[in-house]
Amino acid sequence: MHFEILVEDQSGKKLLEILVPKIIGEDHTINIHSYKGIGHIPKNLGNNSDAGKRLLLDQLPKLLRGYGKTFANYPDDYPATVILVCDLKTSA
C-alpha cells in the first residue's frame, strides 16, 4: 500500500518520518509532505487560494483532486491513501 501523508509543519514531518515506518512496516511506500501552516477551511472549497502561501487546508480540495487522478492510474492490487495530519487548535 502507498501512503501520502500531508502535515502542517516541518517538525511534524520529522516526527512522522521516524514514527510511521515503525507502525506500517517495510512492505509499504510513504511520501510525507510538510506545509507552512494549516490555513483555514475554505468556505466555497474553490481554487482561489494563493499556492505560494502553501497553507494546507486552503489547498486541500486541489490536492485531493490531484491525488484522486493519480491514484486512479495505480494498479488495482496497489491501494493508496491520503492521510491529513494537523494540530487541533481551540480558543478558550
Task: For residue 51, give every residue at least 6 positions away whose Cβ sits within 8 Å of its Cβ, in sequence order, or none.
Answer: 59
Residues of the chain with pLDDT > 90, as a percent, come to 53
Per-residue confidence (pLDDT) for residue 35, from 0 to 100: 85
Distance of CA 84 to the CA centre of its chain: 5
pLDDT at 38 over 60: no
Query: Does pLDDT of 90 surpass 90?
Result: no
pLDDT of residue 10: 87
Query: What confidence score (pLDDT) does residue 52 get?
Result: 45
Which one is predicted more confidently, 43 or 64?
64
Task: Give Rg (Cα) of the chain.
Answer: 14
| pTM metric for this prediction | 0.74
Q: How many residues does the chain have?
A: 92
Helices (H), 2-73: 10-24, 56-72
Rounded Cα distance, 20 and 37, in Å: 21
